Chain A
Amino acid sequence: MTSASTNDIEFRSVAKRYGSVTAVSDINLAVPQGAFVALLGPSGCGKTTCLRMIGGFEQPSEGMVYIGGQPMNGVPAYRRPVNMVFQQYALFPHLDVEQNVAYGLKQMRPRAATAEIVRRTQEALEMVRLGGFGKRRIHEMSGGQQQRVALARAIVNKPKVLLLDEPLAALDKKLRTAMQIELQSLQRELGITFLLVTHDQEEALSMSDLVCVMSTGRVVQMGPPQEIYDRPASLFVADFVGKTNRIAATIEPGAGSVRLANGVGLSKPARANGTVGAAMVAVRPEAISLVRNGTATLQGTVTHRMFLGSTVEYSVEVEGLGDFLVTADRRNESELAEPGERIGLNFDPNAMHVFPA
């Protein structure tokens, strides 16, 4: 673990319990300064709980939380150098847009000069492209605009870390994509550390420098998006981040091979180090190619075809192994395979991820 001073946020063996419910446990986490980090995991895995312990709305039951190297246990939310964008925005309905955005600056001690507050408020509104909306009431703004107000209200304070709890969940797909790009460029521009909670793996992979995958109250893997996708640390990560095919297999000892449940033997991928015995093999759908003639690793029958535009998804049934999901890039295919067609499946043994069963 790197030293606390270079990390904007650090969790050391943090656990949080509500009565008999353990929300998170044994969390060790380091968010480097200036990074865009995504906290990714299924519903109820403890993402919000972690964020709230950083914001100061919850105190850890065990362990320590550091912000900028300072221990934060017991420090109330209003004395923490972080700001949060709430999922439901939590704008103040009785204040106008400008007053909402200026709120933090007015409360900060020492208080900035009024002219300075006005200038920074306008600047923040420009930044989220809401210049000229300052005098509007909150209920006169659309959902997407309210989202921007919430963002401006947080970034105007130039916090050490910006916490975002599923900020885009309530927006429609198009607006969400636009905001994803905007958030990313905003983060580059401001140089503020962003910690984004999401349960959308695409969002996490596309936006962040680092992804922290959580499951049932624990961190299961943390790393750059590519690493998470290409080298998942567990079957859970492989499944949750992107699509994957699971194949039951047995690993034979020594330099040996991977024997799939249907008896087919493949050479062991370089990464599958010590695993021996019953195992689960994961293969990404796009790592498999369909071949009409000639030799193939496996043989199967196409059962479904889903046309997705630039790619096509096939469901192929392989005797003894079940259904395979195969994603084919249309540029490499002269002709689509038809449901019912016998077809060969090919993949590089090195594309297999081997996990103990």
Chain B
Amino acid sequence: MRAFISSVYLFLYAPIALVVLFSFNAGRNASEFTGFSTAWYAKALSNTFLVSALQNSLIIAFTSAALAAVFGTMAALGMERLSSRMRALFDALFAAAIVVPGVVIGIATLVALVAVFSFVNPTIAALWPGDQPPRLGLGYGSIIAAHGLFSMALVAMIVKARIASLGRDIVEASSDLYATPLTTFRLIVLPQILPSILAGFLLAFTFSFDDFIIAFFVAGSKTTLPIYVFASIRRGVTPEINAIATLVLVASLLLILTARVLMREKKSKSGE
């Protein structure tokens, strides 16, 4: 039994450990470790294609996570006011959105966007006074929309759990002490749900930054980091790819750990 568990962990982590190890390999050969070196990191970071893919990924991750944080929080707050039946319905819808496979979200978003574009673009062209009407197409916008929509459900679930643990007492107490609803939100509710919003933002950021499947469907000509890695793998695994993978791994782990700490802190506080 112990051997079995060990081998499960070995299968899970050995490949990852190898990727990290070989990213520091001095040689180019992926089968033998010929000495420690950070040369591949330098090489990766001087690769303009890669850097621009990284930039795209960061912009998309940041924007979609920020949108998800704002709208997810708004959704969570709005759901507080629903009747219990409607709330259960929206709860189920959010939960469903999170478990829908990426492939399905990717295809569905692509189909939906293409349908919208085929209606909107001719309309704009007809109304546009000049010769060069702007055309909507796949790119930043579509990836941000697809990621943002998915992570909005994520943020809403996390923030909602926090709101539920707040109780209506302190909101009423604030209102009893002459604070208008807006002030109550600013001084009482927001400070207490902020860690969960931040945690949601970080998880959304990590999700978007790592996502390949959805982005692949709706990226159009834009290249995100995972798409770049996928494309360059066809030319063989180089230590440069290993270096990128290691960087992404470390960044993701840091973000997720921070998110967990933020969510844990909220628990110990509400437990008092």
Contacts and interface: CB of A to CB of B under 8 A. Distances in A.
A236 interface: no
Contacts of B180: 78
Interface in A96-139: 103-104, 107-109, 138-139
A294 interface: no
Interface stretch (A80-88, A258-266, A269-277): A80-88
A94 B177 contact: no
A103 B170 CA distance: 12
Contacts, number: 65
B130 interface: no
Given A92-B188, A93-B192, A93-B272, A84 B173 contact: yes
Given A57-B172, A88-B169, A90-B169, A83 B192 contact: no
Contacts of B272: 93, 138-139
Given A92-B188, A139-B272, A86 B173 contact: yes
A103 B177 contact: yes
B170 A107 contact: no
Interface in B165-204: 167, 169-170, 172-181, 183, 187-188, 191-192
A92 B270 CA distance: 11
Contact of B176 (A77, A94, A138, A139): A77
Nearest to A83: B176
Contacts of A76: 175
Contact of A77 (B170, B175, B192): B175
A90 B173 contact: yes
Given A86-B169, A107-B183, A93 B176 contact: no
B101 to A, nearest CB: 40
A90 B178 contact: no
Contacts of B181: 78
A92 B191 CA distance: 11
Contact of A92 (B170, B175, B178, B183): B170
Which of A78, A88, A139, A157: most chain B Cβ within 10 A?
A78
Given A92-B188, A93-B192, A107 B177 contact: yes
B234 interface: no
B176 A84 contact: yes
A66 B140 CA distance: 59
Contacts of A55: 172, 176
Contact of B177 (A88, A104, A139): A104
Interface in B245-272: 269-270, 272
Contact of B178 (A86, A104, A138): A104
B170 A90 contact: yes
B272 to A, nearest CB: 4
A153 interface: yes
B177 A153 contact: yes
A90 B172 contact: yes
Nearest to A103: B177
A76 B171 CA distance: 13
Nearest to A77: B175
A84 B180 CA distance: 16
Contacts of B192: 93-94
B172 A86 contact: yes
Contacts of B269: 93, 139
A150 to B, nearest CB: 8
A163 B189 CA distance: 24
A108 B178 contact: yes
Contacts of B178: 78-79, 104, 107-109, 157
Given A78-B178, A90-B169, A109-B178, 9 more contacts: A77-B172, A77-B176, A93-B270, A103-B187, A104-B177, A107-B177, A107-B178, A138-B272, A157-B178
Interface of A: 55-57, 76-79, 82-84, 86, 88, 90-94, 103-104, 107-109, 138-139, 153, 157
Interface of B: 167, 169-170, 172-181, 183, 187-188, 191-192, 269-270, 272
6 contacts: A56-B175, A78-B178, A78-B179, A90-B172, A104-B178, A157-B177
- Top 7 A-B pairs ranked by shortest CB distance? A104-B177, A90-B169, A90-B173, A107-B178, A139-B272, A77-B175, A107-B179
